[in-house]
Amino acid sequence: MPELEGSEGRYVSARDALDGARLGDPVVVFDTKGDMVGLSTADFLAERRHRVTVVTTRRQPGQQIELMTGRLLYQRLLDRKVSFVLESEVVRLTPEVIVIRHRYSGHETVLSGIATVVAACGGEANGSLHLALKRRAPALDLRLVGDAAAPRHIEAAIYEGHLAAREI
């Protein structure tokens, strides 16, 4: 998660939000990746009656999502009254407002009354299972692939798994 000035207690990851973290309302989903995580988190929250604004650094919401899936998800978000701020990033929070900055013009906009910012900004590799198995059974031929190696799209993880399986 990007560090944000003034974020204590009002800033959670998309994973935490999906796992049931206590969120205030309204919510900003801050999406820097343009993949399924940001928009599906917004959809999840909107379905639970949160008022949601998606702030994305991209030119269009869900820019990295497969075309038809993205179109259907975008329509559902519009039907659920989710609003969008494009080509912008969250730069700081105060107790009363959040400040977003347009990535190209540098113009700052203040959003007031936002209770929580949910970051959909990528993940971290988690190879702990791989390490534990290596320690427990060093003779096993183990391969580290997918998000265990580094955060990536599902297609890349599947391809890596395929290549690893072919080497066995």
CATH class, domain 11-120, is alpha beta
**Residue-wise DSSP of 19-71:** TT----SSEEEEESS-SHHHHHHHHHHHHTT--EEEEESSSSTTTTS-HHHHH
**Which residues are 117's β-sheet partners?**
11, 28
Is pLDDT at 123 greater than 80 in this prediction? Answer: no
129 close to 42: Cβ distance less than 8 angstroms:
no
β-strand 83-85 against 52-56: which pairing, if any? parallel
What number is the average pLDDT over the span 140-148?
83
Query: Pick from 21, 69, 18: which is nearest to 47 by CA?
Result: 18
Q: Are strands 88-93 and 97-102 parallel, antiparallel or unpaired?
A: antiparallel
Domain boundaries defined on the chain: 11-120, 128-167
pLDDT digits (tens, 9 = 90+) for 19-64: 998 898 999 999 999 999 999 999 999 999 999 999 999 999 999 8
- The whole-number pLDDT of residue 60 equals 92
Give me the mean pLDDT over the 4-9 stretch: 70
Give burial (CB, 10 Å; 0-12/13-18/19+) of 50.
Answer: buried
Asked if 38 and 29 touch (Cβ cutoff 8 Å), the reply is: yes
As a whole number of angstroms, the distance between CA 25 and CA 132 comes to 40
The pLDDT of 129-140, averaged and rounded, is 87
**What are the structure tokens assigned to 16, written together?**
């935490």
Provide the token pair at 8.
Answer: 């204590």
Mean pLDDT calculated for residue range 157-165: 88
Return the pLDDT at 43: 97
